Protein backbone atom coordinates (compact mmCIF):
# COMPACT_ATOMS: atom_id res chain seq x y z
CA UNK A 1 0.00 0.00 0.00
CA UNK A 2 1.47 3.31 -1.03
CA UNK A 3 -0.02 6.05 1.05
CA UNK A 4 1.03 9.62 1.70
CA UNK A 5 1.18 9.12 5.49
CA UNK A 6 2.59 5.59 5.60
CA UNK A 7 6.31 6.51 5.78
CA UNK A 8 5.84 9.05 8.56
CA UNK A 9 3.22 7.16 10.57
CA UNK A 10 5.30 3.99 10.56
CA UNK A 11 8.42 5.98 11.42
CA UNK A 12 6.70 7.54 14.44
CA UNK A 13 5.72 4.08 15.61
CA UNK A 14 9.25 2.69 15.33
CA UNK A 15 9.06 0.90 11.97
CA UNK A 16 11.81 1.54 9.44
CA UNK A 17 11.65 0.02 5.97
CA UNK A 18 14.83 -1.43 4.48
CA UNK A 19 15.92 -3.34 1.40
CA UNK A 20 15.79 -6.48 3.57
CA UNK A 21 12.43 -5.95 5.24
CA UNK A 22 11.47 -3.86 8.22
CA UNK A 23 13.37 -2.87 11.32
CA UNK A 24 11.41 -2.38 14.53
CA UNK A 25 13.81 0.05 16.18
CA UNK A 26 12.37 -0.32 19.70
CA UNK A 27 13.61 -3.92 19.93
CA UNK A 28 16.41 -4.45 22.44
CA UNK A 29 18.62 -6.08 19.80
CA UNK A 30 19.44 -2.60 18.46
CA UNK A 31 20.60 -1.19 21.80
CA UNK A 32 24.31 -1.38 20.90
CA UNK A 33 24.03 -1.81 17.11
CA UNK A 34 26.49 0.53 15.34
CA UNK A 35 25.15 -0.28 11.86
CA UNK A 36 23.00 2.08 9.83
CA UNK A 37 19.33 1.22 9.41
CA UNK A 38 20.07 -0.17 5.93
CA UNK A 39 23.60 -0.82 4.67
CA UNK A 40 22.41 -0.32 1.06
CA UNK A 41 20.73 3.01 1.74
CA UNK A 42 22.44 6.33 1.07
CA UNK A 43 19.92 8.59 2.80
CA UNK A 44 21.04 11.20 5.33
CA UNK A 45 19.87 9.06 8.25
CA UNK A 46 21.76 5.94 7.17
CA UNK A 47 24.91 7.89 6.32
CA UNK A 48 25.07 9.61 9.70
CA UNK A 49 23.29 7.66 12.44
CA UNK A 50 23.37 4.15 13.89
CA UNK A 51 20.49 1.90 14.83
CA UNK A 52 21.54 2.25 18.46
CA UNK A 53 21.31 6.04 18.33
CA UNK A 54 17.95 5.95 16.55
CA UNK A 55 16.66 3.49 19.17
CA UNK A 56 17.84 5.83 21.92
CA UNK A 57 16.04 8.77 20.29
CA UNK A 58 12.87 6.70 19.86
CA UNK A 59 12.81 5.50 23.47
CA UNK A 60 13.52 9.04 24.71
CA UNK A 61 10.59 10.34 22.61
CA UNK A 62 12.90 12.82 20.89
CA UNK A 63 11.29 14.59 17.95
CA UNK A 64 14.58 14.23 16.06
CA UNK A 65 13.86 10.49 15.81
CA UNK A 66 10.64 11.16 13.90
CA UNK A 67 12.44 13.45 11.48
CA UNK A 68 15.33 11.06 10.83
CA UNK A 69 13.11 7.98 10.57
CA UNK A 70 10.70 9.73 8.21
CA UNK A 71 13.59 10.87 6.00
CA UNK A 72 14.76 7.28 5.79
CA UNK A 73 11.31 5.80 5.10
CA UNK A 74 10.49 8.37 2.41
CA UNK A 75 13.86 7.63 0.79
CA UNK A 76 13.12 3.91 0.86
CA UNK A 77 9.72 4.44 -0.73
CA UNK A 78 11.31 6.53 -3.48
CA UNK A 79 13.80 3.69 -4.07
CA UNK A 80 10.94 1.19 -4.29
CA UNK A 81 9.12 3.32 -6.85
CA UNK A 82 12.35 3.68 -8.84
CA UNK A 83 12.77 -0.12 -8.81
CA UNK A 84 9.16 -0.61 -9.92
CA UNK A 85 9.52 1.87 -12.80
CA UNK A 86 12.71 0.14 -13.93
CA UNK A 87 11.05 -3.30 -13.74
CA UNK A 88 8.08 -2.10 -15.79
CA UNK A 89 10.28 -0.49 -18.44
CA UNK A 90 12.51 -3.57 -18.68
CA UNK A 91 9.44 -5.85 -18.74
CA UNK A 92 10.57 -7.73 -15.63
CA UNK A 93 7.84 -6.58 -13.26
CA UNK A 94 6.45 -10.09 -12.52
CA UNK A 95 9.93 -11.26 -11.55
CA UNK A 96 10.49 -8.12 -9.47
CA UNK A 97 7.19 -8.65 -7.70
CA UNK A 98 8.07 -12.25 -6.85
CA UNK A 99 11.43 -11.14 -5.46
CA UNK A 100 9.89 -8.62 -3.09
CA UNK A 101 6.62 -10.32 -2.15
CA UNK A 102 7.81 -12.19 0.85
CA UNK A 103 6.84 -11.56 4.44
CA UNK A 104 9.28 -8.92 5.69
CA UNK A 105 10.91 -9.82 8.96
CA UNK A 106 12.70 -7.75 11.53
CA UNK A 107 16.29 -8.64 10.66
CA UNK A 108 19.18 -8.70 13.11
Instruction: Quick: pLDDT tens for 40-92.
Output: 999 999 999 999 999 999 999 999 999 999 999 999 999 999 999 999 999 99
**Residue 18 backbone phi and psi in degrees, to 5:** -135, 175
Candidates 42, 34, 102, 51; CA nearest to 76 is 42
Return the pLDDT at 4: 77
Residue 15 pLDDT exceeds 70: yes
Query: What is the value of pTM for the model shown?
Result: 0.85
CA dist list (Å): 34 to 31, 47, 51, 100: 9, 12, 6, 26
pLDDT confidence tier of residue 5, bands split at 50, 70 and 90: confident
Domain count, the chain: 1
Candidates 1, 2, 3, 23; CA nearest to 72 is 23
- Quote the domain boundaries for residue 48: 6-100
**78 domain-assigned:** yes
**19 domain-assigned:** yes
**108 domain-assigned:** no
Amino acid sequence: MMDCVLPSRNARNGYLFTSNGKVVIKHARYKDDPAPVDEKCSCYTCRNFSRAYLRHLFLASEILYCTLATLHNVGRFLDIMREIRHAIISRTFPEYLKSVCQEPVDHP
